[in-house]
Amino acid sequence: MLASGQIEVLWQPSTEGTFDEVASLLLRRIAERNVTRVVIDGLDDFGGMTGDPERTRPVLTALANRLASMRVTMLATSEIDLNGVIPAQPLAGLFLRGLSPFAENIVVMRYAALEAEVNRLAVVLKARESSIDLKFRHYEIGSKGIEVDRDFERARATLTRLAGYPGGRPAAPSAARPFTEPGDEA
């Protein structure tokens, strides 16, 4: 699709240029090519180009409104640092305040690591003008694309197991020792 020109990638380091320059370029390319879908991979860095944290949300809202008026669908990603998050609270550390003005839909995707197994979980937190089921679903990415479980049972089991591990790690067996040193008979 890249080779045929169906998709165009505009890459801009977050350390170069200003938000206004990059947004102007983006809007110009959208108009020139009659684009209907835009993906902004890294909303935090993109918005951070404003240079002023107080300005970030208003300019992102203005951009989203402008794209909507052009009948362009925007998908934006944002990474969240979940280090130190309590396993039994899978949405802890998630900062959603201020997203509502420019986000029509909010989907949270996260990992849940259990022993040597990494589970992928997703939940829809917002779908404007739609009813949603606020339950995590397990999903997999494979040769058939993204496959989401129809029910929440596997996600519930994963989160329940995770909540049982202190600090997100399996508790060490109380009497078991992984190995014994010579001369260390206990």
Say yes or no to pLDDT of 99 above 70.
Answer: no
Residue 116 identity:
A
Predicted confidence band at 111 (pLDDT cuts at 50, 70, 90)? confident
- Tens digits of residue pLDDT in 46-88: 777 888 878 878 888 888 889 999 999 988 887 766 554 555 5
Say yes or no to pLDDT of 22 above 50.
Answer: yes
Taking each helix axis from N to C end, the angle separating 53-69 and 19-33, rounded to the nearest 10 degrees, works out to: 10
Residue at token pair 């052009």: 70
- Tens digits of residue pLDDT in 143-178: 999 999 999 999 999 888 887 766 544 444 444 444
Closest Cα partner for 60 from 50, 70, 72, 69? 50
Q: Say which residue, 90 or 132, is predicted with more confidence.
A: 132
Residue at token pair 């200003």: 18
Give CA torsion, residues 79, 109, 5, 62, to 10 deg: -60
